[in-house]
Structure 1
Amino acid sequence: MKDLSDLIANLRRPRLLIRAARFGQTDYNRARDLRRLMQAQAVPGPEQALERLIEEEAKLEASRQEGAANYSLMRHIELLIAMMAEARLLPRPPQAI
């Protein structure tokens, strides 16, 4: 879990992509959006979903940087929205006092 949280925290993406994803958080519906994004019948747990979302987003980021013709800005934003939402569902480690 810590590795996933660290991975998310260390992502560096253009500010406009991140702002759009943050704005889209209000409309995120896990059951609807995650199933569609992952093309799955059942919604996996946050850890499993986040692992798959990170892999897919990394592919899109590579396409974006290459300037590939098949790059989808909307899909990239949708994946970032889902990643942010799923990261919030991960269990938090206990705080040291």
Structure 2
Amino acid sequence: MHDLTSLLHSLHRPRLLIRAARIAAEEYRRDPHLARVLGAPTPGHRGAALLQLLEIEGLMDERRKARDGAYSVARHVETLAAVIGEARLMARPEDRLT
């Protein structure tokens, strides 16, 4: 988890994007959100889900920086909200065992 924490702290995104994602993360529910963002069943291990989310988010950020027409701000916010939600779940002591 320490490596994931370092990775999360190294992310630098526009403030407005992060602010919107933090607001969206308040309503984060793991199963429906992960299924929608990942397009697959929810992984059992939280760390695996977070790694997948970070990979997807990295690709989205590359599209954002390249001003790609396929880039979706809404989808990026949804993905960052899932990253934040998963990170919060991992930080809970009772969930570290799973």
Q: Place the TM-score, normalised by the shorter chain, in its bin.
A: 0.7 to 0.9
Report how far residue 46 of structure 1 moved.
1.2
Match of 2:5 in 1: 5
Q: Percent identity?
A: 42
After superposition, give the CA deviation of every residue in 1:26-80 in whole Å (9 maximum; x if it has no partner): 2211111111111113443210000000000000000000000000101100010
Matched, 1:52 2:33: no
- Kindly report which structure 2 residues correspond to 1:10-89, keeping only aligned pairs within 5 A, or say none: 10-89=10-89
The one-letter code of the counterpart of 2:7 is L
Relative to the length of structure 2, the TM-score reads 0.87
Q: Tell me, in whole angstroms, the C-alpha distance in 2 between the residues paired with 1:14 and 1:37.
A: 20
Relative to the length of structure 1, the TM-score reads 0.88
Number of equivalenced pairs: 93
8 Å Cα contact 1:37/1:79 also seen in 2: yes
- Mark the CA change 1:23 to 1:92 in structure 2 (over 3 Å): closer, same or farther: closer
Question: Where does the alignment leave 5 or more consecutive residues of structure 2 unmatched?
Answer: 94-98
Structure showing greater radius of gyration is 1
